[in-house]
Amino acid sequence: MVKWDEKRHADLMAASRHLGESDASKLAWVVRFANEDASLWHSAERATRGDCLLVLAGPGRVAPNQISPLPKPLDEDSVATIHAELKHLLRDVVQGPANTTVSFKSGGHDVAITRATDEGVKPAIWGWSYTGNVQAVVLRVVADLILRAGDRLVACKFKGCRNPIVAHRKQEYCDATCSQLARTAKKAQRRKGGHHGKATRKR
């Protein structure tokens, strides 16, 4: 069993608050971080920035009741390396004419960020692409979609189905068939005095 570290949890909670919950607040933190002079950080400031990077790279926030293992602090060299890479990346993507593209490696494939608008134009318009192994690219894109738009992604409530659905309003089942099968299963269970029968939807 992993020993609970209350201080480590508190440090990561503080980092989560520094980042904020919205994408805009996280990006603002990243830009501030990249623009800082790393030579002026003292050890505690470097550790705090490392925790923010860990939260950013993980769930994006740390829950007060989080029970999963807490990440260990980043070492100083890793914080410095990430800082330098972000500084160059952000400077490159905001400078230059329209359709400037900046590429970098990520998880075994190439990621390209393109600014479609001229330098300094607001709102800036961005595009991106992944190149490399198609399977890895698709899984990465789907993971991004779940993180950004997965608040309605749930399992069908019918136990014989459990397929994923993007629920509309109060939707709980895939469709009318699963809803009817669930009602039928409940009626059968009541008739059997609470005995759990198992129904499965045929696909």
Is 36 within the bounds of a domain? Answer: yes
pLDDT at 176: 93
The answer to whether 103 and 112 have CB atoms below 8 angstroms apart is yes
Is 137 within the bounds of a domain? Answer: no
Q: How many domains does the chain have?
A: 1
Is 162 within the bounds of a domain? Answer: no
Is 132 within the bounds of a domain? Answer: no
In this predicted model, what pLDDT tens digit does every residue of 43-81 receive, in sequence order? 999 999 999 999 998 755 565 555 567 889 999 999 999
Is 154 within the bounds of a domain? Answer: no
Percent helix, strand and coil across the chain, each to the nearest 5: 50, 15, 40
Flag whether the pTM goes above 0.85: no
Q: pLDDT category, 133, cuts 50, 70, 90?
A: confident
Strand partners, 115: 100, 126
Instruction: Give the up-direction half-sphere exposure of residue 14: CA atoms within 13 A in the CB hemisphere.
Output: 12
Is 72 within the bounds of a domain? Answer: yes
Q: Which domain holds residue 81?
A: 1-91
Is 25 within the bounds of a domain? Answer: yes
Average pLDDT score, the chain: 86
